[in-house]
Amino acid sequence: HALQKCGLKAVAGGNLGEAVLGLPALCRDRVYVIEMSSYQLDLVTSFQPAVSVLLNISPDHLDRHGGMDGYVAAKKRIFMNQTEDDLAVIGVDDPYVQAICTDISANGGPMVTPISVGKTLGQGVYVISGHLYDGVTKPCQDMLDLRHAVSLQGTHNWQNAAAAYAAGRHFVGDHQDLAKAIHSFPGLAHRMEVVGAWDHVQFINDSKATNANAVSYALAAFENVHWIVGGQAKEGGIDSLSQYFSRVKKAYLIGEASKAFAKTLGSADVDHVMCDDMAEAVAQATASARAGKEPSVVLLSPACASQDQFQNFEHRGDTFRALVHKIMNGHGSKPKKESAA
């Protein structure tokens, strides 16, 4: 989005959307923006991005990679063919990626731009109190106020914005234009997507949050949450989310993980109910949120894979969105997108 807004012929693909070999041929001013999964990185040998981006690492796909060390090693392969003419944009807010940043910086290879949220960097791109600072060159500049970017809510999206800015400045000479382009990003479906608002209740589709770490960012962003959660559980379940349970007004459990999650929530005295399917969960969550007087959020952020009840996370998110719109339209309330403060 940002590169296109700045006049480049950018196309996205790879693990996100169309396969790389199906993208339009490279030409002048065309940039491939490619998402590479750990599975794909494990298999490539000659992949050499002009700019690589590694945001963060948390446990996932450990069965595939033989444990956390193998998973980290697979992620690190994104840098293996880069030279001093290339750029590595690396998050430094979790210990795994911080260690990788130190290693890459110390042992040669690509130029490195570190990014952070909440931490001032001597050189890099960072976000403090919602303001994005460009400290790659001196003097450091305040480029963007992310607090008013509707589709970039939460610290994880601030990290995304910092990464997009750090990567984009490699291609775009006017950094103010780049910052404006990032601010105008409309968001992606299933990733903290605001699908509607009905009086004091907002509806958020975060179906892409398939593990607890991803859900933590959504729960941290909202208060008075009516949380739809469940599916095929990942290792560790939702135990690591206990620090955010105080934000949950009530949880609505779906899918195979319901019993295990009910046990976790029950031991933490979080109000919860077992639901047969998404339709029941959305109906109950909406009714409960509407009954309260305070601003509330009905949040689908499942912390699970989707294949027990859905084809994929997109199907799950589409189902949630359709149910929300059906309920709202049935009561004469037109769905509208607005800030989920």
Q: Which amino acid is at 181?
A: A
Which parts of the chain register pLDDT below 50?
A: 337-341
Q: Using an 8 Å Cβ cutoff, are 215 and 227 in contact?
A: no
pLDDT of residue 65: 72
Calpha distance 184→38 (Å, rounded): 30
Nearest to 14 by CA among 89, 90, 101, 78: 78
pLDDT of residue 155: 87
pLDDT of residue 340: 40
Q: Using an 8 Å Cβ cutoff, are 170 and 161 in contact?
A: no
pLDDT of residue 215: 95
Q: Using an 8 Å Cβ cutoff, are 215 and 202 in contact?
A: no
Calpha distance 97→76 (Å, rounded): 9
Strands 193-198 and 272-274, bridge-based pairing? unpaired
Structure token digits, residue 115: 């990014």
pLDDT of residue 333: 63
pLDDT of residue 310: 97
Model pLDDT for residues 273-291, shown as the tens digit of each residue: 999 999 999 999 999 999 9
- Whether the predicted model's global pTM rises above the 0.85 cut: no
Calpha distance 260→238 (Å, rounded): 9
Model pLDDT for residues 42-90, shown as the tens digit of each residue: 999 999 999 999 998 876 676 777 788 898 999 999 999 999 999 999 9
Q: Using an 8 Å Cβ cutoff, are 170 and 3 in contact?
A: no
Q: Using an 8 Å Cβ cutoff, are 125 and 115 in contact?
A: yes
Q: Using an 8 Å Cβ cutoff, are 303 and 215 in contact?
A: yes
pLDDT of residue 336: 53
pLDDT of residue 212: 93
